[in-house]
Amino acid sequence: MAAIDDLTLNHVAFGIRYNSHFRIEDRLGDIVDAVLAAPRHGSSRFPLIAYGAGMRQLGNEQTGESISFSRADTIFENRKANFLLAQLPVMAEEFAEDVWRAVYDHAKAPAVTRFGCIVGFDLPSTWRPLDALLDQDERDTSEFDLRYSHRLPVEDALTNVGVNDYRNVIFQVSCRAERKIATIDFQHYFNPPLESEKARKETSYSKFINKAIPYFRDGGWDFLRSRLERLPRAA
């Protein structure tokens, strides 16, 4: 039986959203310089810089990596990823220490409202989404797209007065001829936002990833498998 740990991730994204913070726009140059000064995120890894209204983006067309900064979010993305799920904690730690730290230091700690992580992968060849969901045979001309979102409870929000956090997960499945891909977008919404230094240390991005990975392995994977896995019909 296939498991998500056995698959190669071809799409990975880390994201942190915060209350709109105009100071970030004023310090975009300093933030980008700080990231590029970090050995793990230097100019050899991100040779391109794109400029836009209120944003900056570092990029590498060959590797498919990008880091974007705006007044409301900071996002790392790799659309040509070639990783295993077990490698996510190290990647997330690098994102938190080098990229998010640059924003945090130069923008005087914006109030965090959401953490997010996306993983994308090719579905196992034995899975037949059109057959399982629509009772239709797959053809070369078949096209199918599905997006499903639902909310998950957060333990602390159930026991602490004044904490209304929740998690949200978005599943997307796309089928084009023989190519069948899926993404799982796992998010944690903070209400109230993370503002104090104590709250930030207790709820770091790395700790969030350590919550996301078990969900990808169990709840998220089982949700897809139980609905999309169907063996080919007998001739």
Spatial distance between the Cα atoms of 49 and 57, rounded to a whole number of angstroms: 6
Spatial distance between the Cα atoms of 64 and 161, rounded to a whole number of angstroms: 43
Mention every residue, 6+ apart, whose C-beta is less than 8 A from residue 99. Answer: 35, 41, 67, 74, 76
Domain boundaries, given as residue ranges, for the chain: 4-228
> How much of the chain is in helix, strand and coil states, percent to nearest 5?
35, 35, 30
pLDDT at 232 over 70: no
Residue 11 contacts residue 183 (beta carbons within 8 Å): yes
Read off the pTM. 0.93
Question: What does DSSP assign to residue 83?
Answer: B
The tens digit of pLDDT for each residue in 173-223 reads 999 877 899 999 999 999 999 987 787 778 899 999 999 999 999 999 999
